[in-house]
Chains A and B, each alone.
Chain A
């Protein structure tokens, strides 16, 4: 079995790793780069817990091969706050109790950050549909949606 050498950028850092061609980007982030914030909830793109940004697009890292990361830029939950301050979404999720177990939280935060970059003023319906691929089994989504809408309003006010 021949491994592939992949050079890529993760959260702004240039990184290289070796992977089996069958290994997913999620496998590589977790097992080779120790970035375990992205979670494998299903491995089939149905739960969104492994959400990352791949060269500007929100994707499920379980549906990307590690080999495909060559030359790309990847953003993960670990890159969401790069100094001592949390991202406003992270702050608000804690404040609103928008998580119970927290397993879906990294994926939802990565997905929501991507939404607000694209659409700073989403409606409740737009948020709900944007996050349709991020399963949360604990919360019924209520507090998550409220936290997001409130963060968006704060961020609009601040900008």
Chain B
């Protein structure tokens, strides 16, 4: 394995374009190093992006939107009071990943690029309407987060493409988000089901909403039907039941060591209901 620590994105892309064999970018390393140690995957070329300026910065743009560098660890997000106040669902989702120690390293971009359908931060980012900035030999472009996951362990990124930052939209004053997951313990587990919801409330009624589910299909999904079930409602019992049913209906899970099809399908509905209530409360406060 060759290890590189380039000082710029262009250098990083150059190395990756010239690399032969499996190439991985290293930010927090909490997935890459696990795979390395467990002999699941040993890259031929490993490109550490942490020496590139600005990858460790959280910036609020003048329009109120946010730019989170690709190497910002979860702990840093969690310490950012303004970001946390505006996007608590996103920050909490990231914070749920692994231990305090893992939070010292793990990043939003890494969580996304690992391609796991159970990635905790991804449903929250998709619900929030986040995008990522992709740098490639041809320049840079912004792509919606939901367009990045492809299938378990795979993303839509091409060779030579690298995500430099996550972009979160400006938080509207009447909006709120939340992310909940079900795990058997209180911490340290991979989500059996995850649900991120972002919504806005006008005069007590949900005016718009985005609902995203994790670990219930081959990739994290945006569930329009679930959002439709609550838009225009005051999140009354009827709306919550409809949300719950729509969330469960969107599930095409598998039976595996972490959960059954029946369980995941049922719990997706439960979490959607609970997350919606939290987001609704946040939107109104």
Contact between chain A and chain B defined by CB under 8 Å: yes
Mark A residues whose CB is within 8 Å of B. Answer: 4, 21-22, 24, 43-46, 48, 51, 54, 57-60, 62-65, 67-68, 70, 111, 114-115, 129-134
Known: A21-B2, A21-B3, A63-B30. A132 touches B37 (CB 8 A): no
Task: Name the contact of A65 in the complex, choosing from B2, B29, B101 (C-beta under 8 A).
Answer: B29
A21 vs B26: C-alpha distance when bound (angstroms): 13
Given contacts A21-B46, A64-B29, A129-B187, contact A59 B101 (CB under 8 A): yes
A-B contact pairs, 7 of them (CB 8 A): A57-B75, A63-B28, A63-B29, A63-B101, A68-B50, A111-B101, A114-B100
The residue that B188 contacts in the complex, of A21, A24, A65, A132, with Cβ under 8 A, is A132
Residue of A nearest to B95 (CB): A129
Which A residues touch B150, using CB under 8 A?
Answer: none
Identify A133's interface contact among B38, B46, B100, CB under 8 A: B100
Known contacts A65-B3, A133-B187, A48 near B105 by CB under 8 Å: no
Cβ-based interface call for B86 (8 A): no
The answer to whether A22 and B105 have CB atoms under 8 Å apart is: no
| A22 touching B42, Cβ below 8 Å | yes
Bound-state Cα–Cα, A51 to B187, Å: 17
Chain B count of residues within 8 A CB distance of the other chain: 29
Residue pair A133, B75 in contact (C-beta under 8 Å): no
Sample of 17 more A-B contacts, CB < 8 Å, known A21-B2, A68-B48: A24-B33, A44-B34, A44-B38, A45-B99, A54-B104, A58-B101, A63-B29, A63-B33, A63-B34, A63-B105, A65-B48, A68-B29, A68-B50, A111-B100, A129-B186, A132-B187, A133-B98
Mark each residue of chain B from 24 to 46: 1 if its CB lies under 8 Å from any CB of chain A, else 0.
00101110011011100010001
- Residues of chain B having any CB pair with chain A under 8 Å: 1-3, 5, 26, 28-30, 33-34, 36-38, 42, 46, 48, 50, 73, 75, 98-102, 104-105, 186-188
A4, A43, A62, A132: the one contacting B3 at CB < 8 Å is A4
Shortest B191–chain A CB gap in Å is 15
State whether A62 and B100 are in contact (beta carbons under 8 Å apart), knowing that A21-B2, A22-B42 are contacts in the complex: no
Q: Is the interface of A mostly helix, strand, loop or mixed?
A: mixed
Q: Give, as a whole number of angstroms, the nearest-CB distance from B243 to chain A.
A: 29
Q: Contact between A67 and B48 (Cβ–Cβ < 8 Å)? A: yes
Measured in the bound complex, the distance between the Cα atoms of B101 and A54 in whole Å is 10
User: Which residues of B lie under 8 Å from residue A65 when comparing CB positions?
Assistant: 3, 26, 29, 33, 46, 48
- List of 9 A-B pairs having minimum Cβ-Cβ separation, nearest first: A133-B99, A132-B187, A57-B104, A21-B3, A59-B104, A60-B101, A43-B37, A44-B34, A63-B33
Bound complex: CA A44 to CA B42 (Å)? 14
Chain A residues contacting B1 (CB-CB under 8 Å) are 21-22
Chain B proximity of A76: nearest CB distance (Å) = 14
